[in-house]
Amino acid sequence: MTTIINGKELAKKINEQTKQRVEQLSKTGNVPGLVVVIVGDDQASQRYVRNKNKTAQRLGINSIVKQLPEETTEAELLALIDEYNSDDSIHGILVQDPLPAQIDEKKVTHHILPSKDVDGFHPVNVGKLYLNDSSNYPVACTPKGIMTMFSEYGIDLNGKNVVMIGRSSIVGKPMAALMLNAGATVTIIHRNTRQPRNFTQKADVIVSATGSLHTLGVDDVKEGAVVIDVGQNMNEDGHLVGDVDYEDMLDKVGYITPVPGGVGPMTIATLMQQTVDLCEWGAKDSE
């Protein structure tokens, strides 16, 4: 019997916990602050930012959306980040992708203070993740949300054979590091991997983050495997689907995430959770 991992319901639970934490912090005069900077008018980014802002406001987080024109220079964006780096009321800074061609994304990522890097992409925080550092630091929100799913559904990664499909810095690499830190044996496969089925058919857990239809079919997985689908694609009928042939797998795998309603809601819930984390950590550091 396949268990469908309900990210939408779990996100509601996480958000309720986050709201309660915000209320407790507010009593001490600390209101978590999140700023999202968006450059240009990419419609998909605009919708995503609106969802983030709406969720943050509902949870009591001080949410600011800073809209900049397409022609904004790199120097202007970095100067704005400097302002928020110096603003004690802002605990999390996020610059929404994609950025215009005149702006170097790496420079922007490096310019955000590690202590305000709510996306978990700064090299300092990435380094701590790979070192399995015991201190407090933010982690990429999608992988962190997936780890919350594993915990909630009692999926123990220790000693498991895990395959990560995709090697991006946003999902694939931090996800692999988190699972490695949890005691799994991790293999990363990607577009240059020869005969990927040789790896996926032996995996206890598979996480797919390629953004390509039909990345993983029913014959690519073993009986009872855990399948986490991070992909978001439009199929031939114009419907949102993942990387995985979901319907075909329902009678074979042990656990699976749907698209939509799986990993997506957990990413935003984790962003809110991590904003509050940064506020709490900052308050402790200033004591």
Whether residue 198 has pLDDT greater than 60: yes
Q: Is 147 among the domain residues?
A: yes
Q: Is 201 one of the catalytic residues?
A: no
Count of positions (residues) in the chain: 287
CA gap 198, 188 in Å, rounded: 13
| CATH number of the domain bearing residue 79 | 3.40.50.10860
Give Cβ neighbours of residue 287 (< 8 Å, ≥ 6 apart). none
Number of domains in the chain: 2
Regarding whether 147 and 93 lie in a shared domain, the answer is no
Order of strands, sheet of 226-229, starting from the edge strand that comes earlier in the sequence: 3-4, 255-256, 226-229, 205-208, 161-165, 185-189
- Annotated catalytic residue, options 117, 119, 243, 245: 119
| CATH number of the domain bearing residue 205 | 3.40.50.720
For residue 286, what pLDDT band results from cuts at 50, 70 and 90? low
Q: Is 9 among the domain residues?
A: no
- Annotated catalytic residue, options 27, 46, 87, 96: 96
Q: Is 50 among the domain residues?
A: yes
113 near 83, Cβ under 8 Å?
A: no
Regarding whether 254 and 153 lie in a shared domain, the answer is yes
Regarding whether 259 and 173 lie in a shared domain, the answer is yes
Q: Is 107 one of the catalytic residues?
A: no
235-247 tens-digit pLDDT: 989 999 999 999 9
Q: Is 128 among the domain residues?
A: no
62-119 tens-digit pLDDT: 999 999 999 999 999 999 999 999 999 999 999 999 999 999 999 999 999 999 999 9
**pTM of this structure:** 0.97
Q: Is 77 among the domain residues?
A: yes
Regarding whether 169 and 256 lie in a shared domain, the answer is yes
Q: Is 222 among the domain residues?
A: yes
Regarding whether 165 and 61 lie in a shared domain, the answer is no
Q: Is 269 among the domain residues?
A: no
Regarding whether 224 and 164 lie in a shared domain, the answer is yes
CA gap 237, 217 in Å, rounded: 19
Q: Is 10 among the domain residues?
A: no
Order of strands, sheet of 92-95, starting from the edge strand that comes earlier in the sequence: 62-68, 33-39, 92-95
Domain residues for 241?
141-264
Q: Is 88 one of the catalytic residues?
A: no
Regarding whether 96 and 51 lie in a shared domain, the answer is yes
CA gap 220, 134 in Å, rounded: 36
